[in-house]
Structure 1
Amino acid sequence: MQVASVNNKTHGLRPWIDELNEAELPAMAVVVHDLLRLSQSTTASVRQLAEVLLRDASLTSKVLRVSNSVYCNPGREVVRTISRAVVVVGFDQVRMIGLSVSLLDGLLKDSPREQLQSLLARSFHGAVQARNLAQHISQQQKEEVFIATLLLNLGELAFWSHGGKPADELAGALVDAQVDREKLVKRMLGTGFDQLTLGLLKSWNMGEIGQLVQASQIARGPAAMAVALGAELADAVAADGWASPAVQALIEPVGSLTGLPPEEAWRQMLSSGEEAVRIAGTCANSDLKAWIPRTDDLPLDLSDLLQMEHAAPAAATVPVVPVVPVEQIDHAPLLQPDLELLKLSLQNLRLMARTPVDVDSALSSVMQALHRGAGFERVMLAVLADRQSCFKARKVAGKGSQGWLEGFSLPHDPASMAAFSRALKQRRMRYIGPAELAEEPLSEAHRAQLGEGAFAVAPVLAGEHPVGVLYVDMQLSGRQASDTQLSVLGKVAELAGLALRRLSQG
C-alpha cells in the first residue's frame, strides 16, 4: 500500500517536534519537568511542590478536587490548600496527582479522538502497574518509573492530541487491518512514534526519563524492566482482557521481578488495575477510566470457568474424604459455576461493604458466591473462637458440610505452620495442592474432619482485626480448582472482610 506524506511542511522528526512544541504542550512539559525534578530530590519541600502547582490556578483547583475525592481522602477531611493536601493525602500522592492532572488535561483539552483516549488509558494503567512493581525494587526510583511509563508513548499521544489533519488522515489509513502500522506511520510522518517520543523528551530537558524509556525497550536493569512489564501488561489487558493468555503469561515475570509468589503477583496485578481505574476516574475530566478494563467482572470473562473438566483424575489421586464417603455421593451432574449468580453475589457484597446489613445476609452472600457461584464443592467460614485458640465453623455450604457446624474445630497457633493459622498470619490466600501436601503433611485433626485432598484457605480480615478463614475444596469429585476459582476466593474473602468491618462500624 503506497501512501504519500500527508503534509509536506510537517514531515520528519525535527519538523514534527517543532510543530508539537508550538502547541500548548510546552506548558504541560514545564510542570512535568519540575515535578520530576522534585521526585529526584531528597530534600524537596512542601513549599517547592506548592510553588509548582500554584503557577496554574486551574491545575491547583483540580489537584485539590482530586485530593478531596473518596479515593484519595476516604475520611473526607476537607482540603483547601496544597499544604493541607500533603498532610492528608501525602507528598508523593499529591505530586503524582499534579503530574497526572497536568498530563491528562494537556492532552485531552479538546474533543479527544478515540485513539488518544485508548492510548492514554493504556499509558496510565501501565504507569500505575510499573510504579507498584518498582516499589519492590527501589522506593527512590518508583516515581521515575511511573513518569517514564506514562510518557513511554508521548510521541504518539502528542500526535493524536495536536496532529490536526495529518492525525485524521493517519487514523483513516489505519482502519485497514492488513496494513503494517509502523511502516505506514514512518511513511506518512517521516518518522516513527518512538523517535518522536525521545525527541520530545530531549527538547523538554527530560533526558534521564528518555534514557529509562530507551532502556525499557531492551529491559536493561530492574527499573527498565518495571517500565517494560507495566506497559506490556496494560497493552495485553486492553487488547484481550484480564483473562487472556497474554496477561496470564506475565504472572511469572512479574513474580520474578518482585520476588512475589505467583498468587501474590497476580493479586498485585489486579489490585494495580483497580487502582488505575480509580485514579483515572478522579484525575481526568473525560471518562478515561472507561477505557481501562475492570477487574470486578474478571471471573465472568474467563472461559475456564465454563469449561471445567468433568472427568475425575486417576483413581490414585482421588482424595479420601472420611466425612462424606464416596459411596454416599449421588450421581447428579457435577457442580458447575453459575456466573450470573456469582455476579449477583459479588454485587451484593460490594453493596454490603458500603452499607451495613445483618451478619447472616453477608455470610449467606459469601457462601452463595463461592459454592453455587464459583463452583467450589464445599465451603466453610471458620472463625476464631474460644479466645482465638481455635477455628470453628460459622457458615458452611456443600454436601456433607452441615456436620461441621456442630463438630468442626481446629487449634489455632499463630506460630504454627498449619494451613489455617499460616494463612491468617501471612494474610494471604494459600492453595494446598498435591505438591504442598507432599511437603506439609496435614494434622490428624485436619484429615479426620476435612479429608486428605487439596484445598484452599483465604484470610478474612475486618480491617486489622482477624476474623478467621474461608476454606474451599473440590474433594467430592476429585477435580482440581482452577486459577480462576482461586481468584474468586481471594476477591470474596476481601469483600467479606470489608462487609464485616462496615458492620462493626455500625
Structure 2
Amino acid sequence: MKIGGNEPKGADYWTKRISEQEMPALCSTVKTLEKLAKDDVSSMAILGRSVMHDNALTSRILRVANSATYNKGISQVTTVSRAAVVLGFDTIRNICITAKLLASLLENKNLTPGVYQRLLKLMARSFQAAMLARMMLAGHDEEMQEEAFIAALLYHLGESAFWSMGGPLANELDKALDGVDDHVATLSLVREHLGTSFGQLTQGIARHWGLGEVLIKSLNNPDERMPEIRAIFVANKLAQELSEPYPDLAELEKRVKQGAEMMGLKPEEFKNRAIQCANATHKLAEAYGAKELIEFLPQTERLLETQESLNAGRWREADVSFQLRKLKELTGFAINKADINQVMQTTLEGILQGVGVDSCAVLLLSPSRKMLQPRIVLGDNSEKIKREFIVDITEPTHLFRQAVELKTPMWIDSPDSPRWRLQLDEQLKKSVSKQGFLLAPMMVDTKVIGVFYADRGLSGRGFDEEEFDNFTHFTQLANVCFSASVRQ
C-alpha cells in the first residue's frame, strides 16, 4: 500500500526515524543509562548529568522514589543521589528511564483524538502490565523485579512510539483499524501500512537503544520458562484482556491461574493481589506525572465481578434504557452517514448490553460469497467465536446461507432439533449455542454483506419473542445506517 506516494518502509527505517528524528533525546538518555556498569563509581555522576538540567524529570524521580511503591517507611529523600543510595542505582536508573519514556511519549499534543486515545490506552496497559509483572516476582530479588518492570513497560514500545509520532500515516492506520477486533486482520493492516509489525519495530528499537537482555528475550522467546520472562508474558496477557470492553472469561481465568501458580497462591488470592496492585499503579502514575493514563488503566476489579457472576449465575439481562440510547445513536448515524465500522460496533453493543446476550458478532461474507468469518465479536466467548466461526456456506441448505439468501432474521431455538440439525455442518454444531441463537442479514440496500449473530450459550439461556424482536430492531436499523453511509 502506498502512503503519500511512498511504499511502506520496514522496521529498520522506522527504528532509525524514531531514534534520530522523533525521539533523539530519549534514545540518547536510554543508551547512556543502559551502558552504565553496576556499582561503577562514575555511574552516579553520569546519571546526575543526564537529569541535572531537567527540573521536571528530577521532580518526577523524587516523587516516585518517595512513593509507597518504593519508599518502604524510610525518611523522605530529597536528592537523586540520596535516592540512589537508599533504593540502589539500578532502581533509580529504571525510574529515570520510565519517567523519560512517559514524558517523551505524552508530550506530542498535536495528535488526532483517535490516535491520542490509542496511545493512552496502550501506555496505560503497558504500565499496568509492568506493575503486575513486578508483583508476580515478589518472591524474587528486587533486581529481577525491576528488570521485569522495565521490560514489561517497554514491551510495546514500537507501537507506542509510532502512535506518539502522529502524522498522516498514523491517522490513516488509526482509521483503518477502527472497529477491527481480529488479531490477524490487525497484523495484516499494520504490515500493509508500515512494511513491518509493531513487534518487529519494538525489537529493532530495543537492539538500537541497547535495552536490557530481559526485554530482548521476552520479545524473542515469550514462552521461555524463566520467571521474569514468564511474568512479563502473563502480565501482558492479563492487562490486555482486562483492557477489552468485554473480556473473555475463559482467557481471564486462564491467565489468573498461571499468575497464581507462579506466586504459589490460590486464584482468589491472586485476584485480590492484582486489585491491590492496580491501586498502587494509580498512585504511581500520578507520581510520574502521567495522570492522563489513569482513566485508561485496565479495570482489575473485573476479576472479582467475573467470578461473582459465575458463582451467582448473574448474566446480562435486557436493559431497556441502554437499548433506547443505542437505538438513538444508530438513528443519528443514519442521518449523518457514520462509518460502517462504527455502526457495527454500536449495534453489537446494543445487542450485548441492551438485549442482554452472552456473545454477539458480525460475520462478513468473503469476496467469493462462499465463506462467513468474524469481523467484530463482543461478549464472554469472543475468542472461541473468532477461532471457530469460519463458516463455509457453499451447501445450498446451510442455515447461515439461508440467512443470507432469504434476507430475513432467524431465531434458531434448538440447533439439535429435527427442524435445524440437518442445516448445520458438524463442526459448526459443536460451536453454536445448544440453547439456540439469533441470525440476521447485514445489508447495504438490497445486497447482503454478512450476518449478525447472538447467543446465550455460556449462561444456558434461550430467547423469547420480545428479545428476538429487539435483536431484529437493532439489525434492521443498522442496515438503514449501512445503506445511508454509502449513498452520496
Tell me by how many angstroms 1:145 deviates: 1.5
Q: Is the counterpart of residue 164 in structure 1 residue 203 in structure 2?
A: no
Secondary structure of the 1:191 match is coil
Tell me by how many angstroms 1:228 deviates: 0.4
Q: Which residue of 2 aligns with 1:150?
A: 153
CA distance in 1, matches of 2:229, 2:201: 19
Q: Is the counterpart of residue 141 in structure 1 residue 144 in structure 2?
A: yes
Tell me by how many angstroms 1:170 deviates: 0.3
CA distance in 1, matches of 2:63, 2:15: 33
Q: Which residue of 2 aligns with 1:182?
A: 187
CA contact (8 A) 1:7 1:166 kept: no
CA distance in 2, matches of 1:192, 1:309: 41
Tell me by how many angstroms 1:171 deviates: 0.2
1:257-315 Cα deviation digits (max 9, x unpaired): 2333434333332222222222112213442111113456875x4473597269xxxxx
Q: Where do residues 74-473 of structure 1 align in structure 2 (5 Å cutoff)?
A: 79-86=77-84, 94-111=92-109, 113-177=116-180, 180-206=185-211, 208-240=213-245, 244-295=249-300, 301-302=305-306, 304=308, 308=312
Q: Which residue of 1 aligns with 2:38?
A: 41
CA distance 1:61–1:208, shift in 2 (3 Å)? same
CA distance in 1, matches of 2:81, 2:212: 30
CA distance in 2, matches of 1:12, 1:191: 5
**Can you give the 5+ residue segments of structure 1 that lack an aligned partner in the other structure?**
311-506
CA contact (8 A) 1:122 1:238 kept: yes
CA distance in 2, matches of 1:209, 1:33: 16
CA distance in 1, matches of 2:293, 2:82: 27
Tell me by how many angstroms 1:230 deviates: 1.2
Higher helix share: 2
1:232-253 Cα deviation digits (max 9, x unpaired): 1111111157894433322221
Q: Which residue of 2 aligns with 1:8?
A: 6
CA distance in 1, matches of 2:211, 2:46: 19
CA contact (8 A) 1:36 1:144 kept: no
Q: Where do residues 461-500 of structure 1 align in structure 2 (5 Å cutoff)?
A: none
CA contact (8 A) 1:126 1:231 kept: yes
1:357-381 Cα deviation digits (max 9, x unpaired): xxxxxxxxxxxxxxxxxxxxxxxxx
1:69-120 Cα deviation digits (max 9, x unpaired): 6776697966542134446766565444322211100111112511111001
Tell me by how many angstroms 1:182 deviates: 0.3
CA distance 1:66–1:242, shift in 2 (3 Å)? farther
Output the amino acid matched with 2:98: S
More divergent stretch after superposition (51-60 vs 281-290) = 51-60
CA contact (8 A) 2:15 2:205 kept: yes
More divergent stretch after superposition (134-143 vs 115-124) = 134-143
1:332-372 Cα deviation digits (max 9, x unpaired): xxxxxxxxxxxxxxxxxxxxxxxxxxxxxxxxxxxxxxxxx
Tell me by how many angstroms 1:144 deviates: 1.9
1:166-206 Cα deviation digits (max 9, x unpaired): 00110011114267110011011111111111111111123
CA contact (8 A) 1:202 1:210 kept: no
CA contact (8 A) 1:201 1:209 kept: no
CA distance in 2, matches of 1:130, 1:65: 22
Secondary structure of the 1:110 match is coil
Q: Which has the larger radius of gyration?
A: 1
CA contact (8 A) 1:237 1:244 kept: no
CA distance 1:265–1:285, shift in 2 (3 Å)? closer
CA contact (8 A) 2:159 2:202 kept: yes
Aligned length: 306
CA contact (8 A) 2:242 2:302 kept: no
Tell me by how many angstroms 1:63 deviates: 1.9
CA distance in 2, matches of 1:124, 1:273: 10
Per the normalisation by structure 1, the TM-score is 0.53
Q: Which residue of 2 aligns with 1:321?
A: none
Secondary structure of the 1:284 match is coil
CA distance in 1, matches of 2:212, 2:74: 39
1:32-74 Cα deviation digits (max 9, x unpaired): 3444455x72557655543443253432133234445677669
Output the amino acid matched with 1:308: A
CA distance 1:50–1:296, shift in 2 (3 Å)? farther
CA distance 1:215–1:12, shift in 2 (3 Å)? closer
CA distance in 2, matches of 1:102, 1:80: 19
Per the normalisation by structure 2, the TM-score is 0.55
CA contact (8 A) 1:53 1:60 kept: yes
Secondary structure of the 1:141 match is helix
Tell me by how many angstroms 1:254 deviates: 1.2
CA distance in 1, matches of 2:56, 2:239: 30
Q: Which residue of 2 aligns with 1:427?
A: none
Q: Which residue of 1 aligns with 2:421?
A: none
Q: Indicate the percent of aligned positions where both proteins have the same amino acid.
A: 32
Tell me by how many angstroms 1:25 deviates: 1.7
CA distance 1:231–1:37, shift in 2 (3 Å)? farther
1:395-424 Cα deviation digits (max 9, x unpaired): xxxxxxxxxxxxxxxxxxxxxxxxxxxxxx
CA distance in 1, matches of 2:268, 2:166: 43
CA contact (8 A) 1:242 1:295 kept: no
CA distance in 2, matches of 1:232, 1:114: 20
